[in-house]
Amino acid sequence: MPPLLDVRNLEVRFFTRDGVVHAVNGVSFRLHEGETLGIVGESGSGKSVTMLSILRLIPQPPGRITKGEVLFQGVDLLKLDEADIRRIRGSKIAMVFQDPMTSLNPVLTIGRQITEVLETHLNMSPREARQRAIELLRMVGIPNAEERLSDYPHQFSGGMRQRVMIAMALACHPQILIADEPTTALDVTIQAQIIDLVKRLRDELGMAIIWITHDLGVVAGLAHRVAVMYAGYIVEEAPVLELYHNPRHPYTLGLLGSLPRLDRRERRRLVSIDGMPPDLLELPRGCPFAPRCPYAIDRCWEENPRLEEIAPQHRIACWVDVTTGRPR
Amino acid sequence: MSRNGQVLLRVENLVKWFPITRGIIFTRTIGYVHAVDGVTFEIRRGETLGLVGESGCGKSTVGRTILQLYRPTRGHVYFDGIDLTQLKGSELRRMRRRMQIIFQDPYASLNPRMTVGQIIAEPLEIHGIARGKEARERVEELLRLVGLNPIFADRYPHEFSGGQRQRIGIARALALQPDFIVCDEPISALDVSIQAQIVNLLQELQERFHLTYLFIAHDLAMVRHISDRVAVMYLGKIVELADRIELYENPLHPYTQALLSAVPVPDPAVEARRQRIILRGEVPSPVNPPSGCRFHPRCPIAQEICKRVEPEWREVRPNHWVACHLAE
Ligand SMILES: Nc1ncnc2c1ncn2[C@@H]1O[C@H](COP(=O)(O)OP(=O)(O)OP(=O)(O)O)[C@@H](O)[C@H]1O
Ligand SMILES: Nc1ncnc2c1ncn2[C@@H]1O[C@H](COP(=O)(O)OP(=O)(O)OP(=O)(O)O)[C@@H](O)[C@H]1O
Ligand code: SF4
Ligand code: SF4
Ligand SMILES: [Mg+2]
Ligand SMILES: [Mg+2]
């Protein structure tokens, strides 16, 4: 089956006063129907810019997509005109952001914001839209949905606003839901509620999901496949079990080693990754992880490894085999 | 790490309410935020007590009220046997030297117009401990201690990353050679790979200087990792307190059980087996906390008595304290 979404060699730059920010550096991945892809990586690794670029939502200028293709059901979204991409956004591919306050309009009622989506994308009448809005709010677990339609965003808690965002994203039955750290700002018990909700809706509606986070715990329970980003590159990608049980990129190994585990009683020293991520204004010539990598060999400083398959469905960008410590 | 060490800090029935006022010229108090509503616990010399709970439950207020940065509404804080709530002026200042705080936000907590050297030297000068060349030497020593290059003393905070700024905050806290440090979410704002660096540093410093920590966080896995004992807060109350292994392996309070079950574990095999307790609703407002047991509106096993009678704070088994009618 051809993938639902096929991102090929995506490259995004920001042309700023300080210089060119190499935000996304040739990212390729695929998403299949009904699949959940987790994307993990630290702050600034290019997760949001990659997703925003897919929907052509990065601010231009200073941003520019300098290379690549984004094939959605075979059509390159980067080549569509503005009207066509707008039709896809929100209806076929929907996005939920970390901070719902930035995407909700503070002066419109919750009800109005949802019905507006329904009226413009689905041509519903105001009455139909209102009815559907109530259904949607119920579906995402908002009590007294009918009364709460006339509330404003500030009258909702953080968790409830995120539910509203999910309701709006799902309003048009999208084929892909892109969720950019939607639970990062929430408490764990509320996060558990939201993830539980998303899993239930995913199974009911059969949509594909891209879930962005820096929490390796969250994707472990949610994703089928996980991609790890570092400095604007995907450095490792594998089915979820494989990635956690057989990580092969030194950065992934480092991330997993730096996490304490709630389910382990023994206390071991956390393996920290020394140093800091590179400056995206001046990416090094070789592997971007080399300055922090305990496995680095001479070649790493000269040549940047490409993402290659090392086992079925398991790709890494690294010159070294971490199981032996020798070149691959 | 010392299980049987002497008690350094004893908090007795501590209460902190914040008035809610209306009016500009004639302000009147129309209610109180019950931020901390009667908590009792001890911290032994050289140990780390973890304090966890969801946003707004009163963790920071506990930390600040202990240090007398907020004066308590009621209750006592005995530090080395001396009741801080009774001290004023120079007496309090003298005690405060022995107690420091590290904040969550390394960006907001350092004065942007001071050099790193001035920031770290400030407490030395305020307390008349060192100035001039002597202070400078001490600053360089402190920078080395927290893993920073001493030449950084002449730079400004904005030139540093989050993790480096947190190290600067730690150096400043150590300047007066305190006995006790309140670590108020010191790693929450940092990336995963940097969090481990800071936690390792805090643990090394603790061993080296025999420090006592109150470690506030909402990352339960990290709290388990760093703490000797852990206290769980809900809506201004401590609901459970036990040894780090006991609390995680044998939680007795329904809220602790739900909280622990909500934390994602970075292992897909474990996640697939886990049962989550999904709490209904959200944390109620601390302005009008629920009657009886504050957790009763969300508690999956609440009984009639829970609405009426506040549960006692009981030692259910040796060193395992809990406030729940049904715990045994
Ligand atoms: N409008 C912009 N102008 C200049 N640089 C930008 C802009 N937006 C993003 N960048 C840069 O692009 C890089 C990638 O950013 P991105 O937001 O994708 O990171 P991220 O992985 O989503 O991080 P986070 O976890 O913090 O959300 C960063 O270095 C960022 O500073
Ligand atoms: N200076 C203040 N004036 C008025 N109310 C306050 C003040 N400080 C805290 N509060 C309120 O007291 C309650 C407890 O706040 P506190 O900051 O102690 O919570 P916390 O557990 O540290 O939360 P977080 O995890 O978000 O840091 C909250 O309802 C908060 O709004
Ligand atoms: S290519 Fe070299 S530097 Fe890069 S991750 Fe692999 S071993 Fe480390
Ligand atoms: S006292 Fe009652 S409501 Fe409170 S936690 Fe125990 S069972 Fe639940
Ligand atoms: Mg982002
Ligand atoms: Mg706090």
**pLDDT tens digit sequence for B253-283:** 999 999 999 999 999 999 999 889 988 887 8
Contact A217 B194 (CB under 8 A): no
Helix (H) or strand (E) run with residue B78 in it: strand B74-79
Q: Is the pLDDT of residue B1 over 70?
A: no
pLDDT at B160: 86
Q: Is the pLDDT of residue A318 over 80?
A: yes
Per-residue pLDDT of B63-106, as tens digits, reads 999 999 999 999 999 999 999 999 998 999 999 999 999 988 77
Per-residue pLDDT of A36-68, as tens digits, reads 999 999 888 999 999 999 999 999 899 999 999
Strand A19-31 and strand A5-16: pairing?
Answer: antiparallel
Q: State the average pLDDT for chain A.
A: 91
Q: Is the pLDDT of residue A183 over 90?
A: no
Contact of B284 with chain A, judged by CB distance below 8 Å, is answered with no
Contact B54 A214 (CB under 8 A): no
Q: pLDDT higher for B26 or A179?
A: A179
Once rounded to an integer, what is the mean pLDDT over residues A17-35? 95
Report whether A101 contacts A157 (CB < 8 A). no
pLDDT at A121: 83
Q: What does the alpha-carbon distance between residue A205 and residue B205 come to, in Å, rounded to a whole number?
A: 52
Nearest to B252 by CA among B262, B240, B243, B244: B240
Using left for φ > 0, alpha for ψ between -120 and 50, and beta otherwise, residue B309 falls in beta
HSE (side-chain half, CA atoms, 13 Å) at B44? 13
How many CB pairs (< 8 A) connect A and B?
Answer: 126
Contact A189 B262 (CB under 8 A): yes
pLDDT at B323: 97
Q: What does the alpha-carbon distance between residue B8 and residue B2 come to, in Å, rounded to a whole number?
A: 12
SS3 of residue B20 by DSSP = strand
Ligand 2 centroid, distance to B60 Cα (angstroms): 7
pLDDT at B137: 93
Per-residue pLDDT of B135-192, as tens digits, reads 999 999 999 988 888 989 999 998 888 888 999 999 999 999 999 999 999 988 888 8
Report whether B32 contacts B287 (CB < 8 A). yes
Q: Out of A195, A263, A271, whose CB is closest to B265?
A: A263
Helix A158-170 and helix A126-139: axis angle, to 10°?
130
Q: Is the pLDDT of residue B3 over 60?
A: no
Question: Which residue is closest in CA terms to ligand 2's atom 26?
Answer: B55
Chain A residues with a Cβ under 8 Å from any Cβ in chain B: 42-43, 157, 159-160, 187-193, 195-196, 214-218, 220-221, 240-241, 244-245, 254-263, 265, 267, 269-274, 276-277
Report whether B214 contacts B182 (CB < 8 A). yes
CA-nearest residue to A251 within chain B is B193
Per-residue pLDDT of A293-309, as tens digits, reads 999 999 999 999 999 99
Q: pLDDT-derived band of residue B4, with 50, 70 and 90 as boundaries? A: low
Nearest to B46 by CA among B227, B206, B201, B200: B206
Looking at beta carbons, which residues of chain A come within 8 Å of B55?
187
Using left for φ > 0, alpha for ψ between -120 and 50, and beta otherwise, residue B213 falls in beta
Ligand 1 centroid, distance to B324 Cα (angstroms): 46
pLDDT at B30: 87
Nearest to B172 by CA among B111, B227, B225: B111
% chain A with pLDDT above 90: 63
pLDDT at B127: 87
Helix B162-174 and helix B192-209: axis angle, to 10°?
10
- Report CA-CA distances (Å) from A162 to A103, A169, A192, A264, B151: 10, 10, 13, 32, 45
Compute chain B's Rg from CA coordinates. 21
Sheet arrangement for strand B48-52: B99-102, B180-184, B212-216, B48-52, B229-234, B237-243, B320-322, B314-317
What's the complex ipTM?
0.85
Token pair belonging to A150:
């006339």
Ligand 2 centroid, distance to A251 Cα (angstroms): 37
Token pair belonging to B50:
């973890």
Contact A245 B269 (CB under 8 A): yes
Report whether B66 contacts B77 (CB < 8 A). yes
% chain B with pLDDT above 70: 98
Contact B279 A188 (CB under 8 A): no
Report whether A41 contacts A229 (CB < 8 A). yes
Which ligand approaches the C-alpha of residue A46 most closely? 1
Q: What does the alpha-carbon distance between residue B68 and residue B77 come to, in Å, rounded to a whole number?
A: 9
Least confident of A61-70, A77-86, A115-124, B73-82: A115-124
Which range of A56-60, A69-73, B18-22, B161-165 scores highest in mean pLDDT? It is A69-73
pLDDT at A99: 74
Q: pLDDT-derived band of residue A220, with 50, 70 and 90 as boundaries? A: very high
Which of B55, B107, B267, B274 would you mutate first to test chain A, the one with the most A CBs within 10 A? B267
Report whether B294 contacts B303 (CB < 8 A). no
Q: What does the alpha-carbon distance between residue A80 and residue A155 come to, in Å, rounded to a whole number?
A: 38
Q: Nearest C-alpha of chain A: how many angstroms from B83?
A: 35
Q: Out of A260, A265, A277, whose CB is closest to B249?
A: A265
Q: Out of B224, B266, B268, whose CB is closest to A241?
A: B268
